[in-house]
Structure 1
């Protein structure tokens, strides 16, 4: 018997000395509390329940989430490290106020990554993939008709994520995932402003992917992401 076999055995033997194997079950464990609290606060920031610049009061947030202050404090420390929260001495925690430069840099990188994902998606897409893209397009148009900003942000993220999955490049997916959460944060204030035009652009993009016109899909995505980048900058200047 190999070492691997012995480690899988139960440790007891039959009268003949043969090891008896037992089924080993994987351990199921819930999401740790600190992770759940972190995810909840991050989601509140991304969806702008907590607004940029807003003071975060630990006791109030802990009461809202039904937890003690300790996991909230730990989550805020982590969110500070990741740039979502600013911790100011003697003042407390504040939701980070994104600068125009931060957003512009991230959106520039996003434009490059997403353009490549659209090109690869057009080369690889199956009829089933195209059907799924149209389903996501429909979800976005329904949110648009309902003036549902949160729904638009989610639908936009889902459609772009689906294109990444179709592209099938794991390294590309990993890099885009790094900017996805923050992109949704930036997109929230302009989702309704971007409006009909954004979803018309999505429809054109899906048609290019369905036709396997890779270069055209790449160019459409580049224009699409650059338009969002420009609109965010304009909106930021207006609100300053």
Structure 2
């Protein structure tokens, strides 16, 4: 008799591992079921099911009788996803400001200090990591599980780790981004939820503009 719990655990592990791999790949890259099955030490069935789920999330494109490829979102899709990112992160900033001195606030301060050093040394790879960690902490700090769940799905569709570097390649953007983070953090510390939401939304819009400026025209 098949252990349903074990099968589900394997499937979840494969999906998460493949998701992490795909967000680091170039859009349009081919994905082989055979190669992935060998890499993860499973049969092709969980790989095939994982790819179907990742297609639903918007990370891969399955073309019947052709193959499976890393999805390449259009400028319109990126714009729409960033519009949702703006709403969710703005709301998260407001909610976190209302909570007072929570543990995530101390962690945000640490990330800002690390990010300041990364920008000063022009370490864009490290700063890109810290940007992701800053936003992730903001979402955790809002203490709203429904918002967090929608945000995770959104970020998977965006493949954000792949896109953030493009925005930070724009001249002067890392320093601007860090100053915007500092403003949001201060407003949260001041418990000014309304202004924190507005400034956070402005920050996401600025990031979107920088990203689109670095992408080819569709």
Give the TM-score taking structure 1 as reference length: 0.75
Superposition deviation, residue 96 in structure 1: 0.8
For the residue of structure 2 that corresponds to 1:212, the secondary structure is: coil
Q: Deviations over 1:198-240 (max 9, x none)?
A: 12211121111112222321221011000011112211236x6
Superposition deviation, residue 153 in structure 1: 4.2
Give 2:18's aligned residue.
41
Give 1:147's aligned residue.
123
- The 2-side partners of 1:141 and 1:167 are apart by 24
Cα 1:33–1:156 shift into 2, 3 Å? same
Where in structure 1 do 4 or more consecutive aligned residues deviate above 6 Å?
Answer: 28-31
Whether 1:122 and 2:97 are equivalent positions in the alignment is yes
Cα 1:179–1:81 shift into 2, 3 Å? closer
8 Å Cα contact 1:103/1:186 also seen in 2 = no
Give 2:78's aligned residue.
103
Number of residues paired by the alignment? Answer: 209
8 Å Cα contact 1:38/1:75 also seen in 2 = yes
For the residue of structure 1 that corresponds to 2:214, the secondary structure is: helix
Give 1:196's aligned residue.
175
Q: Deviations over 1:21-80 (max 9, x none)?
A: xxxxxxx9697222222111111111x2x2110111222223333333332222112222
Show structure 2 runs of 5+ residues with no match. none
Match runs of 1:47-196 below 5 Å = 48=24, 50-126=25-101, 128-141=103-116, 144=119, 145=121, 147=123, 149=125, 151-183=126-158, 184=160, 185-193=162-170, 194-196=173-175
8 Å Cα contact 2:30/2:68 also seen in 1 = yes
Q: Which residue, out of 167, 174, 192, partners 1:213?
A: 192
- The 1-side partners of 2:128 and 2:155 are apart by 11
- The 2-side partners of 1:73 and 1:156 are apart by 33
Show structure 1 runs of 5+ residues with no match. 1-27
Cα 1:142–1:63 shift into 2, 3 Å? farther
- Pick the structure with greater CA Rg: 1
Superposition deviation, residue 165 in structure 1: 2.9
Cα 1:36–1:169 shift into 2, 3 Å? closer
8 Å Cα contact 2:167/2:208 also seen in 1 = no
